[in-house]
Amino acid sequence: MTALDDLTALLPPPPGAGRSFDWSTVAGRLGITALPDDFPLLLATYGDIRFCNALRLFRPAAEPWLDMAAVTLAAREPLADNEFGEPPTTVPAGVSTDPASLIQWGGSFGGDYCLWDAHDPDPARWTLVFCDVDTLDWGFYPGTVTEYLRDWLTGHVAPIPLWKLDAVLPGGTGPFGELYDPADPTGGRIQRIDATTH
């Protein structure tokens, strides 16, 4: 089974949830040839989703707050200025935290960064990099976004304190996803997916 199989078994997307996007504009604006294979497939499965009301995925979009290229380019300046503290002192071998090579694939509602270290030309070798803007902690995950989501939502990994499930799930409730319409400013059209229990 793949990580996406595991994730969809945990949070089954309803029929018609997924969306396909033209990723070529994002790639061109960020100077890359492709994204890791799992990420477009993840959005093709779930569409616009936020996890545990804490983590949103970015994609090609007209809205600058949702567009992966726009949020990445906006994030590089504060990261380069060390606005959120000094760069991490301990970085895994082969990983770069140079803001010019970071691509923002997601973020929290508190403004924390979920990034790829994209300095390697092969997206299959990109590492996930996290920056918590409140505690100035950095974290790293040597896998795909889909693998990270599976591991985070099942409580197996929390690279930085923000992402511990007990910090975002009220009263010990299970993980959940919310499918939303980004064109609806009221947030009125939200469909919740609760984790299955086995």
Split at pLDDT 50, 70, 90, the class of 87 is confident
pLDDT at 110: 80
Work out the burial of residue 169: count CB atoms within 10 Å of its CB; fewer than 13 is exposed, 13-18 middle, 19 or more buried: middle
**pTM for the full predicted model:** 0.91
- Residue 28, Cβ density class (10 Å: 0-12 exposed, 13-18 middle, ≥19 buried): exposed
Domain boundaries, the chain: 3-188
Residue 159's pLDDT is what?
A: 63
Residue 193 β-bridge partners: 177
